[in-house]
Amino acid sequence: MAHISFDSSNLDKFIHDNELGEMQAMVTAADTQLRNGTGAGAAYTDWLHLPTDYDQDEFARIKQAAAKIKSDSKVLVVIGIGGSYLGARAAVDFLNGAFFQAQHDEERNAPQILFAGNSISSSYIHDMIKLIGNRDFSVNVISKSGTTTEPSIAFRIFKELLIKKYGQTVANQRIYATTDRQKGALKTEADAEGYESFVIPDGVGGRYSVLTAVGLLPIAAAGADIDQLMAGAASAEKEYSDADLAKNEAYQYAAYRNILYRKGFTTELLENYEPTMTMFAEWWKQLAGESEGKDQKGIYPSSANFSTDLHSLGQYIQEGRRNLMETVVKVDEPTHDVTIPSEESDLDGLGYLQGKTMDFVNTKAYQAVVLAHIDGGVPVMTVHIPRQDEFTLGYLIYFFEVAIGVSGYLNGINPFNQPGVEAYKTNMFGLLGKPGFEKIGSALRQRIN
């Protein structure tokens, strides 16, 4: 029995009974492409069996490194961009309390996890350095090449801080490099300086890398049980291995979102009712957007955090353009619950709720929103998860990874490349005067002027 459940019962108004079955042949073909390595981008599908086929020795080293970081550092600065940070940040928030990062050092059982190299904002870096202050810190720099602009700038800055604080020898012992197995600038530096290093597997693209050292080291350093994380993903790998739509809910989700896309529902909102899942939606947005947004087609991934965004986006969702579909990730058992107090005066009119729990109200809000949005012409799907723990997170990650992989093939694109990502970099290098990009820079400056 699946650990999480996919609810498509609210699609009756939008999808006919026969339509899912009509997708079976296409789903079977997509599954064959994915699992037999015959589809486009097959060289980057090693994530498919990653939960059960990974380097056990490196996994043990990850746990040892996390233990060392917890013992000697109050802060871990994780340097990376895109898939090199989103999964880890999503997991840290998902598995810890809403104010884990704001707690005093003595209140946490792990270092504060800060993320750098995901923007080029000087103010952000300045404020992070100020936040670290005189506390002991370590750095986990994550980059396949070691030359990506945003993380490379951040690494230079924090490496210099480490050296000034501890000296070169000790600083090198506080730097953990997650990079290519054999080549690249960061690998070369790690070997030369003696940084402890971990591998980004060749067959796993960045947005699918959270269950490699890319995500596992910072997740473990934050105090999570990565054995349970991988166990959840392994259970999902087994559960979602059958191409039969009647048995595979991840494939059902992939099929339904493609049916809706072809009916004009071109934007998908991933929604939650827990603030600690905001960054999970950011991870999902990269997974879906970078996998499917190609050849002038693809579902546009967006997100909303309820009930908060019902007071800002709710009007548009209810009555705006009818190109939206919604996928809710609903936690069935909250990590904590709070009972609403009683007051004799009842000035706020909440007497009818006193004695009830906030999660009871939150769940009724979810049910009410689903009914309202369906009536407004918005299809709603729900992924129910039992709780927010490591096993569930690993399971949920794999659910979306395999669903998006199949979904890309259903839409006739390569889900595992990202050619469009390079366009802005080429322009930026030209404008910055990077060697080899001078002609491009000259042409762009004329356009700007």
Question: What does the radius of gyration of the chain's CA atoms come to, in whole angstroms?
Answer: 23
Taking only the tens place, the pLDDT of each residue in 322-365 is 999 999 999 999 999 999 999 999 999 999 999 999 999 999 99
**pLDDT for position 446:** 74
Three-state SS string across 92-142, please? HHHHCCCCHHHCCHHHCCCCEEEEECCCCCHHHHHHHHHHHCCCCEEEEEE
In the DSSP assignment, the letter for residue 208 is: G
Of 365, 356, 351, nearest to 338 (Cα)? 356
Model-level pTM greater than 0.85?
yes
Name the catalytic one among 196, 237, 268, 290: 290
pLDDT of residue 430: 64
Q: What's the pLDDT score for residue 326?
A: 98
pLDDT for 130:
97
Q: What is the pLDDT of residue 301?
A: 97
Q: Which domains does the chain have, with CATH numbers?
A: 5-40+230-411 (3.40.50.10490), 47-224 (3.40.50.10490)
Catalytic-residue membership of 290:
yes
At residue 14, the pLDDT reads: 98
| pLDDT at 100 (0 to 100) | 93
CA angle centred on 174, ends 278 and 53, rounded to 5°: 60
pLDDT at 432: 67
Find the catalytic residue in 13, 238, 247, 425.
Answer: 425
Which positions of the chain have pLDDT values less than 70? 420-423, 430-432, 441, 444
- Render the burial of 41-52: b for 16+ CB within 10 Å, e for the rest: bbebbbbbebbe
Q: What is the DSSP string of 291-353?
A: HH-BTTB-PEEEEEETTGGGGTTHHHHHHS-S-EEEEEEEESS-SS--BPPP-SS-TTS-GGG
Is 285 considered catalytic here? no
